[in-house]
Amino acid sequence: MRDARPDDPGARRYARHHSLAGFGVTGQRRLAAARVLVVGAGGLGSPVISSLAGCGVGHLVVMDPDVVEISNLPRQLIHTEAAIGTAKVTSVQRAVAAQNSGVEVSALPERLSVTRALELVAEVDVVVDCTDSIEARYVLNDACVLLGVPLVWASIAQYAGQFGVVEPAVGPCYRCVFPDPQAVAGLATCEEAGVLGVLPGVLGAMQAVEVIKLCSGIGAPARDAIRLYDALGATMATLPVARDPECGVCGLEAGYFEGVAGLEGVDAPPGFADFGGSGGFGGLGAAGGPGADGRAAASGAVAEIGPQEWPDAGFVLVDVRNPDEVEAAPLPPWMTVGADETFVEPWAGGWNETTRASVHARVGERDVVLVCARGARSRAAAGVLGASASASAMEHAAASGREAASGQEATPGDDAAADGSSRRPGRILSVRGGLAAAS
């Protein structure tokens, strides 16, 4: 941006910035030259994109695979009724063009993958995570750490939200604060738990402030603490965080990215599987894994199934949604056909020991199928149940070994049926994509 002149439209548009102490024409030039990747054009993405476009960030790269739905409109204010059925990134392009024709928008109507994350992050100055995906958050964090690009993230649920900044090599990364993806995998999404319509606007505006600070060089990024906002209590709390020297991604002796050739060959850390079919790091894998037929084949193993893989009979169906969700969307009849038992055990980021034991007691030789709204909670619950079942199986095997060594006879039915025939151990299965995909 050239120096402001009285007849320059830019001088009039950004006059308040030009007169702002510490920002001025230099700060505005920096915004105009910046390239920002915004992943997600929904609740958080709407205020982020509108704010950055209004302030004159020169180039926005917006990624989102979804289309505008009527249920989006209360909180995704960049979209209108006329955009229903249109790709969100197309709606964003039109809105930004109407708001500030000097801002360029690259629209990417696609889902994030590891390879794309690496490609896109390498081409921008700042990344903004506006998704409600745990997988995406870890992928973006890792890509940003690898490539040295700042990341501004936020998450919201019901009446509260939090946000923070990852500034590689300077402050803690997302994994320093949340090292175990499985621990947060079962948290309900906004679609599952609901969200106050105005809340994303508050958190998105806070994200936009951090992006502007990073692009213009003013102020101190919020990298050393997580800010927690409670709308009902009208409070903002600060949770100090520090870089973990043992972090596998950004720690002092991190070996996570060793051997990386260009953008390929990134190995997954323990407990992670491929994300987005592109190879590399990120993505939550189920505990255990599928057998040759695509399902779990051993006691305690976990797999995801669809309608075509549904057990014929003799299984237990566990609905891990909360009672309000169950009442609003009952299970379709075909899901319960052949079930010995169907019951509700809500998963709210975890189960207490009593609940876990209650569910585990039903495993035995029967399949246990867990279902939620979109698959995240049932997958996390299945992983916990699978780990518990595996531990029990190991203990049983050890006990059997002790009995054999002492000359005791095994109880009929422990490892085989009373008639001598072998029995398949029960499997722990979660419904792939939840009701949203199976109905």
- Per-residue pLDDT tens for 309-334? 898 888 999 998 888 888 888 898 88
What confidence category does residue 425 fall into, taking pLDDT thresholds of 50, 70 and 90? low
Q: Quote the pLDDT of residue 398.
A: 45
What confidence category does residue 146 fall into, taking pLDDT thresholds of 50, 70 and 90? confident
Q: Quote the pLDDT of residue 254.
A: 60
In our burial notation (b when 16+ CB lie closer than 10 A, e otherwise), range 372-409 reads: bbbbbbbbbbbbbbbbbbbeebeeeeeeeeeeeeeeee
At residue 394, the 3 state secondary structure works out as helix
Indicate if the pLDDT at residue 267 is higher than 50.
Answer: no
Amino acid at 166: V
What confidence category does residue 92 fall into, taking pLDDT thresholds of 50, 70 and 90? very high
Domains of the chain plus CATH, in order, are: 34-240 (3.40.50.720), 302-438 (3.40.250)
Q: Which two tokens stand for residue 305?
A: 């199934």
The model's pLDDT over 118-138, given as tens digits with 9 standing for 90+, comes to: 889 999 999 999 998 888 888
CA–CA distance, 154 with 113 (Å, rounded to integer) = 19
Q: What is the rounded (10 degree) CA torsion for 205, 208, 209, 212?
A: -160
Q: How many CB atoms lie within 10 A of CB 112?
A: 26
Q: Is 367 left (phi over 0), alpha (psi -120 to 50) or beta?
A: beta
**pLDDT above 90 coverage of the chain, percent:** 41
Q: Quote the pLDDT of residue 364.
A: 67
Span 164-179, average pLDDT:
91
At residue 428, the 3 state secondary structure works out as strand
Q: Quote the pLDDT of residue 407.
A: 52
